[in-house]
Structure 1
């Protein structure tokens, strides 16, 4: 049984549908996290417990399926760097920066990750990647910019904190390329997800102790506890999908999950929190789909082709 056999065929058999599905469920987890934080649960505690819950779910799945967690030096290095650059550092930078810059500005900075991924990929390969892929990334970026720019003030924002916040998408970009280049062939997405998650827990546990957060959701005394556990379930699924996608596309293709997360967050926010929607969002969605198709090779423009 494949790691993604729980998905509908239309999702598990196509790269673009899987990117859309992954971005949407990650966005849903952000919405649940927002509800939990606004209800008084410390944001870092929510993040830690969603990881621990996801880790336990992945561990149970690994045992049930009879898989073993590879612990070679190569695998351990992969788990460590993937957990550090792909989650821990971006999240810690986000928590620090959001105290000094508007959330809307930070969202815009995060959407630069695919463009940064293109640049890092080009540097790693010592050549520019095919121009249609860059055109796809830029098309998606334009669409996201239309949806996210505005609604926040930038006057008085400390430029130093903007630069610090920009490190978050840069780490994500570097990790997108590293995860693709160093992918341990022959290792299941489930094992890679579990290993990376375990190292994130080990890295974050001292921070949790240092910050003094003592919230524990496992008492299940209220809806918020269940919400945190649901976030953990979504995180477990999204991690499996992350490594499944990495088998199908490269870091540049995967980076577009961030675009989907942003637009799905706007749509879900409008539905759940009754937030207003702008007509320009439809244009953003169209540009996103065009960008996805160009970057993943499903849409070919006639420009430059010879008869």
Structure 2
């Protein structure tokens, strides 16, 4: 059951990148899209948490939610929506889901992990895969932009990784995943609303409009994603969470090829396989380490 939910969540994530790619290339302002993708799930989670009577966070939890909201939602989401205009959705999904490659080095910096030659070797392998993707000769991007957006897109997984490490290292120890998601989305909605007003980023939802229908669909998918995350963490904990990234990478490439007709060179395909291998083995080593910690305690 847990594996099934992990696969569904990975497909959910990849679908979000595909929808964002379509909307960003069909006239939706990135700030407007970011607003709806914060405000919509916030309202739905508010209803869910009200029914569950689980709304309150303590002072430490509120500070935690603010920082995770900025680094886990606002920054990566805006980067995704702006980059979606310049990077094929399949490649963007791959780049956005390499957070496990950055998580371990950041965990070392925060002294939340011990040094391991094996894991550092896997990190180096994953970085090599990323380097193969962003080689200038691999993609037909505009001449004036070159590969600038590919490099900027690397800030997406870096932001996710920082949020994950902060979550692990400084978690207050109280509150459910859904409750933190609610507060994080509230912070995100406030931040993005200000940016949308300053930059005049508006998009009015209308019946019969394809973009509006996709925005509503993604609101539902995002909310479902938070609920799935809640159940997954309760069932198997965070050890296997990186598998979601692997599923999202595979699904994103499939979407890009079959739905959007995106072509990938053999070097890019090899790079994706290298990245997947690094993520999967990192997950395996993390599982063993978690098992060792559990038995030693």
TM-score range, shorter chain: 0.7 to 0.9
What are the within-5 Å matches in structure 2 for residues 125-204 of structure 1?
125=111, 128-141=114-127, 150-152=138-140, 167-204=155-192
Shift in CA distance, 198/182, structure 1 to aligned 2, threshold 3 Å = same
Cα RMSD (Å): 3.8
Shift in Å at residue 186 of structure 1? 4.4
Q: TM-score, normalised by structure 1?
A: 0.73
Aligned to 1:207: 195
- Unaligned 5+ runs, structure 2: 289-297
| 1:254-292 CA distance string (max 9 Å, x none) | 566555434422211112112335566378448625641
1:61 aligns with 2:45: no
What are the within-5 Å matches in structure 2 for residues 231-270 of structure 1?
231-242=218-229, 248-249=237-238, 254=241, 257-258=244-245, 260-270=247-257
Tell whether the 8 Å contact from 2:71 to 2:159 is kept in structure 1 after alignment.
yes
Given candidates 272, 280, 284, the residue that maps to 1:292 is 280
Aligned to 1:43: 30
Q: TM-score, normalised by structure 2?
A: 0.75
Shift in Å at residue 207 of structure 1? 0.6
Shift in Å at residue 77 of structure 1? 0.7
CA separation in 2, counterparts of 1:279 and 1:162?
A: 18
Paired residue total:
281
Shift in CA distance, 277/89, structure 1 to aligned 2, threshold 3 Å = closer
Tell whether the 8 Å contact from 2:94 to 2:272 is kept in structure 1 after alignment.
no
Shift in Å at residue 245 of structure 1? 5.6
Look up the SS of the partner of 2:20 in the other structure. Answer: helix
Aligned to 1:76: 62
Aligned to 1:303: none
CA separation in 2, counterparts of 1:228 and 1:143?
A: 32
Aligned to 1:4: none
CA separation in 1, counterparts of 2:215 and 2:81?
A: 18
Tell whether the 8 Å contact from 1:135 to 1:294 is kept in structure 2 after alignment.
no
Shift in Å at residue 121 of structure 1? 0.3
Tell whether the 8 Å contact from 1:176 to 1:254 is kept in structure 2 after alignment.
no
Tell whether the 8 Å contact from 1:132 to 1:294 is kept in structure 2 after alignment.
no
Does 37-46 or 68-77 show the bigger shift?
37-46
